[in-house]
Structure 1
Amino acid sequence: MKELNYPKVFMLLAGLSVATLAVYRVVSLQTDSFYAFLIWNLFLAWIPFLFSMAAYELDKRKIGGLLLVPLGVAWLLFFPNAPYLMTDLVHLTIRKSRYIVDGTIQNRYWYDMVTLLLFTWSGWLTGFFSLYQFQTVVYRKSSLLFSWVFVLAACVLGGYGVLLGRVYRLNSWDVLTDRHQLYQLVMDSLNRQSVFFSLFIAFVLLVIYATMYCLLNGLGTGARGKGSKHIHG
């Protein structure tokens, strides 16, 4: 795996988020502020990146080894918030009466669709870079094969997290504040349809992440090979 310059990655993601918020602001002035909740959802998508960045830096400096486990658990709890943003596209269907009037598609549909897609792209990219950071940490501790086992598990649990969030309306922090509800929702979600949905989302996450991984390792710059541990940036 190639080591990335994460200060630059952070600036890239921050710039993308600022641009996304700017687009939302312009569009909301033209239409309405219905999609203001996307700002909160984008913030939640940033949380796993902050956890992964902390774990990455601690491991890079060979300190805080015991903190990597709680950071990993916290990251896993919030990671589904990144792919969850995709499901907000459902509002384009829910609000179709505002977008199609007398058989004509209104301009606001295109404004809102682009805004939703930009929020989704920003959230997904932030989430996938956080996954890449944690995969790098696992790779340092073990092997490339085991790091991909970790990625596969993260995508499966991420898909399941999207299911719990969108279908069962469970929040990441409910795991800590309402364990009885969590247990009940898990029991309710153990059915064929839910399993298929979770695995479908997991497959999509894995395909997109693998594409990003190949681009980063095929076209990027940085240390190459298991033996090199130099971190750029």
Structure 2
Amino acid sequence: MATLKSLFFSIYAALNNVYSGWILWNLFLAFLPLLMSVVLFRRQTLTKWKLFGACFGLGFIGIVGTQLRTPWVIDLVLNKVDRAIATNPAMLLNALWFGAIIVFTLTLNFWLFRKEKTLKSGLWWIGFVCFICFLPNAPYVLTDIIHLIRGTSSGLIPTWVVALVFIPLHVTAIAVAFEAYVLSILNLNDYLRERAGKLWILPTELTIHLLSAIGIYLGRFLRFNSWDVVVDPTSVVASTLNTLTSKRPLAVIGVTFLILAVLYWVMKQITLGLRLRFYLAKQGIDIFDLPNKLQTISAAESASETHLE
């Protein structure tokens, strides 16, 4: 029993020292655009209980992840505010901007959204912008490999913990978060296929990969968050323009774009294959019998056309 307790204590200590809630917090940020994509693009598939369950699960992950990171977040925010007040007079402008956003939102609620049609259209576009802003958080988890490197290079964590806990945990978190990215885009693809046609799908996918690559760079290297678009838009715009006019950031963004495009294509094929297999299973069709069934259907259609002639 003592040995078992020591094993669990070693795992807990290692996770607490290395991760401190980062995995749950980043998974929360990855699942958030996935939920948005379902609400925005596949609303007809949602039931009240499905939406409640999804929101409850997402909220639970977010609360646990935030709770583990709360002391770090508080210290960071307080330090940033102190430095900003001491060295940056523009802090007042940012506060005024944030207040203007709140006033603008309240104005929309009480005036612009009085009509039901305007309400749905306006809220949809606001939700779509939020979806685009938060979507890079899903593939951003790919860069969290630094936590694994940090955990394995410290020398303080037993090798068996790294091999049996850290690596499987990290690989699972990356796979789940990136799958959320894939599913989010596939939901958007379904919406585009119904509303605009298939020709818009590939350009939209490439555009999203590019925007996500830029977002990952801004988040990993410049330490911006999705909500900084609202809280501190001037810094985001200035940093983005500076990034897009510098060679090294462009190279990093280009490599990230290629990685996202390739991984997305691979995961997309796997996801669509699994979706097809589940659909056929519900219909009672074995996927290995599908070619024969399609051939039979084709032969029957040809015979029917010949008979009509």
Q: TM-score normalized by structure 1?
A: 0.73
Note the C-alpha offset of 1:95.
4.2
Note the C-alpha offset of 1:113.
2.4
Q: 1:83 aligns with which of 119, 139, 154?
A: 139
Q: 1:156 aligns with which of 210, 217, 232?
A: 210
Equivalent residue letter for 2:275: G
Identity score, percent: 23
2:69 is the alignment partner of 1:69: no
Equivalent residue letter for 1:211: V
Which contiguous aligned blocks of 4+ residues in structure 1 show a shift greater than 6 angstroms?
none
User: Match of 1:31, SS?
Assistant: helix
Note the C-alpha offset of 1:66.
5.0
Equivalent residue letter for 1:74: C
Match of 2:220 in 1: 166
Matches within 5 A, 1:1-233: 28-29=11-12, 31-33=14-16, 34-35=18-19, 36-58=21-43, 64-65=120-121, 67-99=123-155, 106-110=159-163, 111-190=165-244, 191-218=246-273, 220-221=275-276
CA deviations on 1:80-102 (whole Å, 9 max, x unpaired) are 1011111111123334442489x
Question: Are residues 193 and 220 of structure 1, via their aligned partners in 2, closer, same or farther at CA, if it must alter by over 3 Å?
Answer: same
Q: Which blocks of at least 5 consecutive residues in structure 1 are unaligned? A: 1-24, 224-233
Contact between 1:100 and 1:106, CA under 8 Å: does it hold in 2? no
Question: Are residues 37 and 50 of structure 1, via their aligned partners in 2, closer, same or farther at CA, if it must alter by over 3 Å?
Answer: same
Question: Are residues 107 and 217 of structure 1, via their aligned partners in 2, closer, same or farther at CA, if it must alter by over 3 Å?
Answer: closer
Counterpart-to-counterpart distance in 2, 1:81 and 1:26: 31
Task: Supply the RMSD in Å over aligned alpha carbons.
Answer: 2.8
Contact between 1:86 and 1:120, CA under 8 Å: does it hold in 2? yes
Q: TM-score normalized by structure 2?
A: 0.56
Equivalent residue letter for 2:33: P
Give the number of the structure whose alpha-carbon radius of gyration is greater. Answer: 2
Question: Are residues 65 and 112 of structure 1, via their aligned partners in 2, closer, same or farther at CA, if it must alter by over 3 Å?
Answer: same
Question: Are residues 118 and 217 of structure 1, via their aligned partners in 2, closer, same or farther at CA, if it must alter by over 3 Å?
Answer: closer
Question: Are residues 136 and 26 of structure 1, via their aligned partners in 2, closer, same or farther at CA, if it must alter by over 3 Å?
Answer: farther
Contact between 2:30 and 2:181, CA under 8 Å: does it hold in 1? yes
Alignment length, in residue pairs? 195
CA deviations on 1:116-143 (whole Å, 9 max, x unpaired) are 2211111111121011101111121112
Counterpart-to-counterpart distance in 2, 1:91 and 1:106: 15
User: Match of 1:131, SS?
Assistant: helix
Contact between 1:155 and 1:206, CA under 8 Å: does it hold in 2? yes
Match of 1:13 in 2: none
